[in-house]
Amino acid sequence: MNVFQRDLNIQTPGRGFVDVTGFIEKLLIESKVAVGLCHIFCMHTSASLTITENADPNVHVDLLHFMKELVPDGSPAYTHRSEGDDDLPAHVRSVLTDSSLTVPITNERLNLGRWQGIYLLEHRYQPHSRDICVTITGKDQDGARSLRK
């Protein structure tokens, strides 16, 4: 069993989706794992991870609009405002989404659906530097062949 782990630092432009699929695919190649699992963990409480549509950018626009309606910025009901009107809403949005994802690895590739991508979802208005820990576990090609017998 191979275990491979790297941290990624992702610069976000502010609130929105950042496609991190390509970064993770590069780490998968480096890991040499052919079959196994890729675990992705976001080390922040005001950003999150999601698997969503990778073809039509309007999906992201609509999802951001949905989150804005569900968890409005600057609500007078919020008491936590130490970093601005988007502070607590960012925390709530990260709780409603995911801080970690697990994706199967098959034939040396992330086993995602055709229209799926892995995204870092920035919930704050301002650009941020975000850290993601990627852990890849599994068998290399030789070990994967022995599993098929």
CATH number for the domain including 120?
2.60.120.460
Closest residue by Cα to residue 105 from 40, 51, 36, 41: 36
Tell me what pLDDT residue 74 has. Answer: 92
| DSSP per residue, 110-144 | E---TTEEEEEEE-SSS--EEEEEEEEEEE-HHHH
118: how many CB neighbours lie within 10 A of its CB? 25
What is the extent of the structural domain holding 103?
A: 2-148
pTM, entire model: 0.93
Q: pLDDT tens digits, the chain, 149 residues: what are they?
A: 999 999 999 999 999 999 999 999 999 999 999 999 999 999 999 999 999 999 999 999 999 999 999 999 998 889 988 889 999 999 999 999 999 999 999 999 999 999 999 999 999 999 999 999 999 999 998 877 666 54
Q: Which letter does DSSP use for residue 98 in this model?
A: B
**pLDDT for residue 82:** 86
- What is the tally of structural domains in the chain? 1
What distances in angstroms separate CA 148 from CA 3, 35, 91, one per listed residue? 20, 11, 44
What pLDDT score does 52 carry?
97
What element of type H or E holds 53?
A: strand 47-53
